[in-house]
Each structure stands twice: as C-alpha cells, then as structure tokens.
Amino acid sequence: EDPVIKNVIVLQTVLQEVRNRSAPVYKRIRDVIQNPEKHFYSFTNEHHRETYIEQGRGESSNDRNDRAIRVAVKWYNEHLKKIEDEEKIQVIFLTNDRTNKEKALEEGITAYTCEEYIKSLTANPDLVDRLACVSDEGVCRGKKKNHALKSSLECRACYTCILFCYTALVWIIIQGLKHLNRAVHEDIVAVELLAKDEWVAPSSVVLQDDGQNEDDIENEEEKENILKTSVNKDMLRPTGKVVGIIKRNWRPFCGMLSKSQIKEARRHLFTPADRRIPRIRIETRQADTLEGQRIIVAIDGWPRNSRYPNGHFVKSLGSAGDKETETEVLLLEHDVPHQPFSQAVLSFLPKMPWSITEQDMKYREDLRHLYVCSVDPPGCTDIDDALHCREYIKNLEIKIHTYKLLSSNLCSLRSNVDRLAFSCIWEMNHKAEILKTRFTKSIINSKASLTYAEAQMRIDSATMNDDITTSLRGLNKLAKILKKRRIDNGALTLSSPEVRFHMDSETHDPIDLQTKELKETNSMVEEFMLLANVSVAQKIYEEFPEFALLRKHPAPPPSNYDILVKAAKSKNLEIKTDSAKALAESLDKAGSPTFPYLNTLLRILATRCMMQAVYFCSGMDNDFHHYGLASPIYTHFTSPIRRYADIIVHRLLAVAIGADSTYPELTDKHKLADMCKNLNYRHKMAQYAQRASVAFHTQLFFKNKGVVNEDAYILFVRKNAVVVLIPKYGLEGTVFFEEKGKPTLRLDYNNEVPSLTVEDTTLHVFDKVKVNIMLDASNIQHQKIRMVLVEPKVSYKVCDS
C-alpha cells in the first residue's frame, strides 16, 4: 500500500487464496488495484490459454497453485520480451514461500522474498519497518495446519467458539493468559471444558486500569487471583481453555509505541488502543519519531514461547490527543468505513444544478400543494422525513414522506425546494383508527423546516392558526392517542441519558454538555415514524413473505431482570417481568413522591436489561415480534439517508406497489439474510463508535475545567466500587474504593440488597451522592474521567476507568 511500491501484477491464483484466507486483506488488495496511481493489475491466469494448468496426479492443490504462479511468471517474462522497447523490462517474482522460491530459481526465474526485495530499495530504508515478521512457522500452509488441528480435536471433547474478551454475555469463561493460549479477541477457537471443580463464576470485582505499560507478569497474576478469590460459589459457570486457533481474525490495530528503555534498541512494544488486544512486539528504526504518535500495527504471528505476538509498523496517524487523529482512531477501531468515495462512484451523482424533470413527474404523485413540514433537532441537515395532516371528509389524512438520494442537499427534505419522496398516506378517523393506507412515490415541497422547540411553540401558541400550525396540532392530537394505545398494548417506555454537545464555532471544541430535553413534539414525530415503519413492514411482508427485510426485538431471558428487580425491591417497589405489558405497568406505578428521579433511574436500569434489536429476513425466521414496541411486525423505512436497511425496504416497497422493477438480489433469501447479518454488525459498530465519540468529547469538555462537583445517583454496586450517573451531563463513571499504594479499606458487599459498606458508610443502589469530576491525562492513550466521592464522606481516593 506504500506509494513507493508500484507496477505490480497480482495473479488470479493469489487473489483467490487471499480471498479464502482473509476478506479484509482481500478488500485492501482490491482497493490498491483500483487505485490508478499505483499501477497494480490483476491477471486472470486461471482463464488464460497459455497460463492455465491442470492439477497433476498426486499433486496437492497448494503445489498445483505454486506451479501455476511460476508458469504465469515465466509466460509474462516471455511476453514482455516481444514488446519492442528501448528499456528491457524484467519480471521479479516475490514470495515468502521458501519451497516455491527455490523451485522458481531452479527454473531460471528471478525470485526474492519480500524482505530481500524491500531491503534492496536502499533509497527507502523506512520500508523495512513495515515488513511482516515471517518465520518458517508463519508461512506454513493454513489448510495443512487446520487439517492437523481438526484431527487432534476429533480425539477430544472440544467446542468451536468465537472468542469475545470481557463481554457481558459469556457462555464459556476463559480466565487467565495461560488458558487463553495466544488467542486474540474475535479469533475462532477450539475450547476444551475444564473439570467442574475448576469452574469459576463471573466476578463482581471491577479491575482498575492503572495505566501501566511495563512488562509486569506478577501484575497479571495478581489480577487473576483477585477474580478467582472473589467468586460467588452459587454462580459457577462452564469454564474452559483454548486448545487451538481455528481461524485468526487479526486486523490492523491502532495504538501507541511503548519505547524500549534500552538505548539504540530496535525492538519495542506496541500498546493497542483496544484493551482486549495484547501488546505487540515490533522492530522499528523510527522509535524516536513514533513516540507520542498514534500508529497502526499489524500482527504477523505469535511464537509458542513468546509472551507477546510479533508484528510490524504499518503507518502513523498523527499526534496522540489531536482531535482529527483521535477521530480517525475511533473510526478505524470500530471498523467504520470512511474512505473518500471513488471517482467511479461519484460519477453517478446528478449534475448540478439539479431539478425535477418531466420524466420524474410521470411516475410520481404531485403533493407540492400540501402544507408539509419537517420537525427535527436543531442543526439537522439530513432531513429524512416530513409530515402533514389535513381534514378529509370528516376524517383526517396523514402523510409521512421520506427521501433517498443524497445526504444534506438533494437527499434532505429542506423547506421551499422541490424534493422527490416516498409517501405513506393514512386516512384516519378522530380516534386515530386507520381506515385506509396507501404508499406512493411523490414530489413534495416542504413549507417549513422546524426544530422540536419551534414546532412545540406553534402548537402551544394561542395566536398562531396558519395551515402548518393547524397540521401540527392535528398530528399531535392523534400521536397522543396512538401512544396511549401502544402503551396499553404493552409497549415499553424506557430511558437512556442522551447528551448534546454545544461546540465552539471556530475550534469545534465542546463548550457545553447537556442531557437532551424531550418535548411533546419529539413524541409526536416518533409515533408517526413508528406507525409508518409498522405499516410498511405489513405491506412488504404481505407482498414478499419469503424475503421481506424486517426488524425484531427478542424478549430478554428472565435472569436479565435480576438487577432491576433487586434494585426496586431495595426501595420497597415490585417490578413484574413476566411480560412486556407487566413490566410497563410496573414501571408506571414505581415511583416516590419524595424522590421523583427514581422512576427515571428504574427505566434506565430496565433499558440495560434489554436484548439488542436485529434485522432479519422473513423467510429465514418465524419469530417476528418486537418486544419493546409490543408490535407483531416491524421494519425500518423512515431514515433512508442514514440507514442502508431503509434503502432496501424502500426498494422492496417500490416493487410491492408497482413503482419499480424487481431487484434480483433481493429475491434470494439467503443473500438477504447475509445482508441482514452485515447490517446488524454495522449497526452495532456504529453504536460503539458513537459511545466512544461521546466519551472522547466528554474528555475534551472536562480538559480545562479542573475539578467539577456534581450530584450523582448510584446505578450499580460492585464488590470494590459503585457506578454512578450524573444527570446533568448524562455521564456515567466508576468510583473505586481500592487503589494501589493506598490504605486498604474494609468493604462489605451485599448482592441481595444490593449495597456496599465502606468502613462505616453503606451505599445503596439509587442513593444520591456528590462526586468530584476531573480529567486524568496521565496516560495519553487512555485518558479517562476520574470520579471522587465527596458525600457521604469516606477517607479514600478514587478513580474511574
């Protein structure tokens, strides 16, 4: 990928093997091939008359592929000799396969290993740092190794698992470096169960991040002992050890160099930003330059006798702490694609200035005369949907319009410009009962782009009675009926603290941090978006029962509610969890006149008990129910600008109403199921990236604030810490009661109440406390918000991870 490397031919044989071994690496190679400045080319040697070869009798497929590569190299050499040119062109064969290289040299082919070739480029010595650490073990054929592993596992009782480090949902606990056996987060591994007397339980101890980077094996053993000695014997879980790696899922990792203390040393440790990834040993001559930089490193292998895997430097991203650099790290670590679109993709953009044509008018309903408006958060540019309500022969006609072209301009339903839309139109009576539903491709002209506050002001105004305001009042009245009906059916009203940053117009640094204030108009828009999604789901499933893209929310297992039930019981409240309706009714009744925030805390806790909603193909599942919305069927239709799932649903709906032709790939339920799997992965990673971004901007906000004192509520208690929520900022943090080098405090943890007694002070879930908040920047890679308990007063010092 380095700009120095140009004029490369990648054979089809090689591309196929790379594709089988690693999809991410295959994509990177394809991206390089598509870059015209690199002059990388793929050659379909398997379909060329003079380079295709048959597999010989007794010849393995690997040996056949090696021979095919050598045949193609020889053919290219002969082919280029025929070209009349002043400069003779020599083909160089690069391979790290020792046997293949030896055979190539015997056949008169100029062959080098990657290391030999890169070291010959004396004008670019820095390239040597980017060489993978390849040993003879590292270039063994994957198929041979897996075959040997499979044979070994057949003689033992093992399970194939995907390794998730430190996740909340654990099927088999693997504790300690020894039992991890060089496995890395998200590797597919073979696990052998330990004897039952060796099983352990999930610990209630929160391990502190002390920010140390030194090679401290004793520290690791100490942490393992803390977890083992703190087990709850009644909660033992299946425990195992990794006995084989079936498939590595290594990727390039972002992080920082931990420079060796040895002068002139070339071997250094790299500390990944993701704490679940082990440190990686690399060789580099640029340690002085790279220190303090965010860099990318790739793992090359993990020798049997090494505490750390070996890897190589890939590239530098910039200075640690720099906003642009940290944003790049955030996107890369959460696998959020953010590369610029290629010219090939951009060529499909409509030419500006764009306008609606007569051809567009032929297939769309003209709704530009209606008083449509949008209601969104302040500063919103990607306006996905707009609404309208009008009296219609004693009933009401409600329209939801969504759009799908391009983000903040043509794709956005901005006011006072013509826009293409996809409209969901209901005829309702005044009881919000649907009498008729239809869908149409349309053209609209929004008459106003309102914020939630502006829409609320119109609804509440005693003097405003224009068409837009009248429409909003009609929508709001119906929305209240729809919401009550939904809640009566068992829909949950949960809570999750969402924050809004106010940014400096010049530096774009956060200057204020607040929890989002919700108004009636938020609920108004939400109700009609939910109704549109349900209506569209019914339509596409009715038309395509085998390949409708739907969304479901599984009911949580009963054990998920334990923390909620115990917390409520500690306040003499009963939470019933046998159904969504029972839970909703219990939450509605749970409260205290002297503690109004208690109900919000219970709803926040209830949110933590929920399962993740997922996309699925209707032909591959029979459970469609959405637990949180109490809806038998649901999909996503209303946000086509920011969700690809909505684009697919738009396509299905267009075919269902005869407004478009069939997309062949959408009529294959297996392909659609694979697409849903990717959508779920992308949605999950986007959520993680969003949380990481909020955490980063929160750190920026507190950077120059010094110590801030705020009210907080205890959400969870652990054996050595409490987790608190600060309502003003929507901020959570952990207050620890054990710290290295500090006097040991007497701690008494009660899991049933739940509570934690620190010396003579007892802390319960939902207790109101005061904390000091400050930024700890001692570890530049893992900066964190520290929290210190101020009231009730306990003599100790605490920190947050």
On the 0-12 / 13-18 / 19+ scale of CB atoms within 10 A, 240 is: buried
Question: Distance (Å, rounded) from C-alpha 46 to C-alpha 26?
Answer: 18
Q: How far apart are CA 714 and CA 597, in angstroms?
A: 12
Cα 11 from Cα 346, distance rounded (Å): 29
| pLDDT over threshold 80, residue 589 | yes
Q: Measure the CA–CA gap between 320 and 493, rounded to whole angstroms.
A: 41
| Phi (first) and psi of residue 112, to 5 degrees | -135, 155
Q: What is the pLDDT of residues 675-733, one digit of tens each?
A: 999 999 999 999 999 999 988 999 988 988 889 999 999 999 998 899 999 988 888 99
CA-CA distance, 529 to 523, in Å (whole number)?
Answer: 10
**Which runs of consecutive H residues, i.e. helices, occur in 657-715?**
669-702
Predicted confidence band of residue 762 (pLDDT cuts 50, 70, 90): very high
Amino acid at 39: H
* pLDDT score of 136 more than 60: no
* Cα–Cα dist 403/423, whole Å: 9
User: How many CB atoms neighbour CB 752 within 10 A?
Assistant: 8
**CA–CA separation, 756 vs 656, rounded Å?**
58
722-750: string of b/e by CB count within 10 Å (b at 16+)? bbbbbbebbbbbbbbbbbeeeeeeeeebe
Residue 100, pLDDT above cutoff 90: yes
Report the distance separating Cα 760 and Cα 435, nearest Å: 65
Long-range contacts of 337-345 (CB under 8 A, 24+ apart): 339/31, 342/34
Q: Higher model confidence: residue 566 or residue 23?
A: 566
Say what the pLDDT of residue 169 is: 45
The per-residue pLDDT for 215 is 47
**In angstroms, rounded to a whole number, what is the distance separating the alpha carbons of residues 778 and 786?**
11
Asked if residue 316 lies in contact with residue 309, where contact means CB atoms within 8 angstroms, the answer is no
434-445 vs 418-428, strand pairing mode: antiparallel
Looking from the CA of 722 toward its CB, the CA atoms found within 13 Å total 30
In this predicted model, what pLDDT tens digit does every residue of 506-525 receive, in sequence order?
777 787 777 777 889 999 99
d(CA 357, CA 794): 72
User: How many CA within 13 A on the CB side of residue 305?
Assistant: 1
Cross-strand partners of 784: 776
- Asked whether the beta carbons of 396 and 428 are under 8 A apart, the reply is yes
Any idea which residue has 């409509």 for tokens? Answer: 350
**Look-up: residue for tokens 């652990």?**
718
pLDDT at 152: 62
What angle is formed at CA 344 by the lines to CA 342 and CA 349, rounded to 5 degrees?
A: 95
Query: In the chain, what percentage of residues exceed pLDDT 90?
Result: 53
Specify the pairing of strand 8-11 against strand 784-791.
unpaired
